[in-house]
Amino acid sequence: MGKTASYTMGSSKLLLVVFAAAAAAVIGLAGASFRDECDIPWEPQNARFTDDGSGLSLSLVSNYSGTYNYNLKYLLQLINSRTKKQFIFGSVSTLIQLVPGNSAGTVTTYYTSSVGDNHDEIDFEFLGNETGQPYTIHTNIYANGKGDKEMQFKPWFNPTDGYHNYTVSWTPCMIVWYIDGTPIRVFRNYEENNGVAFPTKRPMYGYSSIWAAEDWATQGGRVKADWSKAPFVANYRGLNVNVCECSTNDCATQCASAFSSGSSACQLSDSELAQMRKVQDEYMIYNYCVDFKRYNGSVPVECSLSQQ
């Protein structure tokens, strides 16, 4: 497998596993610095690092805070942070405090995405709401450019009165979304046997962002953002990254090997399964797999297969 090197970076420890066959490296950064590990490619004047660099605030100032041409041709206002390095497989997590009060029309995100055509993406999106109404926790996955695999939840906690941990775990077997260590959703890799697209080859970046999506974010677009309440501020703290660094498709095989060993790479524990079922039974508000009207009486192939 090559050699392992260990480096100390301030209060963080960097573990580097170098593969001989390709430019792939497993990187573990606990409590990493947003300032050191991320760039602000869009609207940097509306992003602020904490003094020690471990935290990040993103401010949506007005509905003219830049424009971004999204996949569905929405013109959106976006402030965005992106990791400097790309990776294939691993986990990324951070603590987030969402916009308090009237957050209608805004979307705060934490997600991974490749670049270019037919992109892959794994989403946490937090859809704002009127004061006193709950956020919607929106999850989705794109593979080979195809998405439309949404599951949504109402939070069982107040995501604005403190920080909560959000984690995306991506292995060759499955993708898991966690909140405060509790799995809320699994998407399994059924590509080889059932033809269901799954991200395995395109390097991704990690992103944090806040943007205006008044056309659809809150109650189907009925409720718009109240710009007199701007700026809308989302706070991030403590970037944790355990990934296989990879900037080309050539290292996908080596990265897959690094994250395929051990039962946890392909299966939740019994206690995690129980936690996930409880969250889905009590707090799920939308599941594309049971939206029969959307699919004219049928459902996508993966919906008939186990996602646990």
11 has pLDDT over 70: no
pTM, rounded to two decimals? 0.87
Per-residue pLDDT tens for 89-109?
Answer: 999 999 999 999 999 999 999
Give the single-character DSSP code of 34: H
Are the CB atoms for 154 and 246 separated by under 8 Å?
no
With cut-offs at 50, 70 and 90, classify the pLDDT of residue 65: very low
pLDDT at residue 262 in the model: 64
**Dist CA 85 CA 203 (whole Å):** 9
Give the single-character DSSP code of 40: E
Mean pLDDT on 51-62 = 93
Could you tell me the residue ranges of all domains in the chain?
34-303
62 has pLDDT over 70: yes
Options 2.60.120.200, 3.40.1350.10, 3.40.50.1820, 3.90.930.12; CATH for 34-303 is: 2.60.120.200
Cβ within 8 Å of residue 239, ≥6 positions away: 29, 31, 32, 33, 34, 37, 38, 54, 92, 93, 94
- The residues carrying an active-site annotation are 121, 125
Per-residue pLDDT tens for 66-84?
Answer: 433 333 323 345 678 999 9
Of the segments 23-27, 30-34, 247-251, which one has the largest average pLDDT value?
247-251
- Extract the tokens encoding 247: 């900037």
